[in-house]
Amino acid sequence: MEIQEKKKKLIWIVGPLFVLAGFLALFFFKAGFTVSQVIDWTGAVLPSSADLPQLPEDDPNRLNILLLGMRGAEDNDNDGRFLSDTIILASIEKDTGKTALISLPRDLYVRIWCVPETKKINFAYAYGGLDCAKKTVSLVTGLFVDYAISVDFRALQETVEALGGITIYRETPFEESFQWAKEGWEEDKHWFIKEIDGEEKWVFYVPEGESELDSQTALYYARSRYSTNDFDRMRRQQQIILAIKEKALTLGVLANPVKVYNLMDVLGNNVKTDMNLSAIKQTIGLAAGLDLDNIKKEVIDISPNGLLYQTFIEEEYVLLPIGDNFDRIKEVCQNIFND
């Protein structure tokens, strides 16, 4: 009985981080099996070039965890399966419990830490794994990145499925008219046929107001970008993360051992992290004091007040920082809790 009470208490402490930014590794009590699957025990650190600037110093009052989302090793597109379609830095101010999500676009053109090349930032993980991605993001944000977690799209889908779906709210309707236009679906509340330029095409649709999304619908909502852009997609991905957080914190989920066990399997099969057991336990101790009702959200974009501009380099579409340096981006990231 005492063991069960301890497990239940641990679930309540860990739950917020689990869904906030891929902190799935915090559910380590499943006989040690899950942790052995998700931790990258190799600890490989690739050499860097001498001309790279010095990495930011570790701020003892900040915990920064990088969440990378990708299609995964089982994706049919071998060339793109390890490119990071989602790059979100979860930052925590330890003494206040303030939490922020900072999204970086995959087309941001940067110097990759582990190779002497300037490429889109989504290549960093493909070139050098978690360590290379962490250090590349550090150069952009001016923040020391403590840990990284990679999650493939299957993890998102299976997490939402294990939770029994999620709820989102939109102030305007959402339509994706091009990305899956030629695929075949059964008409329902999220799919309908629409004539576009004289051709009937399938349209993915999420109405204005509150919507319940199942696992498949949540995946399409997170991946859609043809009818909008990567920046809107980053905002939708943040929205899904927060919706998962809200669902996982409900008593009906965290008190249900079947759902918790299913989440364990999602973790073991689809997540990798460089957090060790000591770091996981320390993060658990920090979780209870987090302010998860007022999460700050920042998307680095090309809006009128944004920090990026778009251009082409050797006929490749890329994004560059205003002023052609990362000073303003670093300032925003470093001072995100000062507003």
Which residues span the domain enclosing 47? 2-161+265-334
For residue 76, the number of C-alpha atoms closer than 13 Å in the C-beta half-sphere is: 0
Contacts of the segment 75-82: beta carbons below 8 A, 24+ positions apart: 75/152, 82/125, 82/126
Query: Is 320 inside a domain boundary?
Result: yes
Q: Which residue is associated with the tokens 């290549």?
A: 123
Q: Which residue is associated with the tokens 């959402």?
A: 174
Q: Which are the contacts of 311, defined by CB distance < 8 A and separation ≥ 6?
A: 318, 319, 320
Query: Is 182 inside a domain boundary?
Result: no
C-beta of residue 125 within 8 angstroms of C-beta of residue 153: no
48 closest CA partner among 140, 111, 119: 111
Rounded Cα–Cα distance for residues 68 and 318 (Å)? 19
What CATH number does the domain containing 61 carry? 3.30.420.590
Instruction: Using CA atoms of 257, 249, 145, 267 in order, give the dihedral in degrees to the nearest 10.
Output: 20
Q: How many degrees, rounded to 5, is the angle at CA 270 between CA 87 and CA 133?
A: 30
Element (H, E) at 34: helix 33-38
Query: Is 157 inside a domain boundary?
Result: yes
16: helix, strand or coil: helix
pLDDT at residue 327 in the model:
95
* DSSP-based helix, strand, coil % in the chain, nearest 5: 35, 25, 40
Query: Is 117 inside a domain boundary?
Result: yes
Strand partners, 211: 168
pLDDT at residue 8 in the model:
40
Element (H, E) at 312: strand 308-313
Query: Is 112 inside a domain boundary?
Result: yes
Query: Is 98 inside a domain boundary?
Result: yes
pTM listed for this prediction: 0.76
Rounded Cα–Cα distance for residues 18 and 254 (Å)? 11
242: helix, strand or coil: helix
Rounded Cα–Cα distance for residues 162 and 158 (Å)? 6
Query: Is 223 inside a domain boundary?
Result: no
C-beta of residue 224 within 8 angstroms of C-beta of residue 204: yes
pLDDT at residue 69 in the model:
85
Q: pLDDT tens digits, the chain, 339 residues: what are they?
A: 444 443 343 333 333 333 443 333 333 333 233 333 444 434 444 444 556 778 999 999 999 999 998 865 545 455 567 888 889 999 999 999 999 999 999 999 999 998 888 999 999 998 888 999 999 999 999 999 999 988 887 778 888 888 889 999 999 999 988 888 777 677 888 998 888 888 888 889 999 999 999 998 998 898 888 888 888 888 898 899 888 878 877 756 656 666 666 666 666 667 788 887 777 777 767 776 777 778 898 999 998 989 999 999 998 999 999 999 999 999 999 999 986
Query: Is 196 inside a domain boundary?
Result: no
Structural domain count of the chain: 1
Rounded Cα–Cα distance for residues 193 and 330 (Å)? 45
The residue type of 307 is L
- Measured between alpha carbons, how far is residue 107 from residues 122, 127, 197, 319 in Å? 7, 16, 29, 6
Tally of helices (H runs) and strands (E runs) in the chain = 10, 15
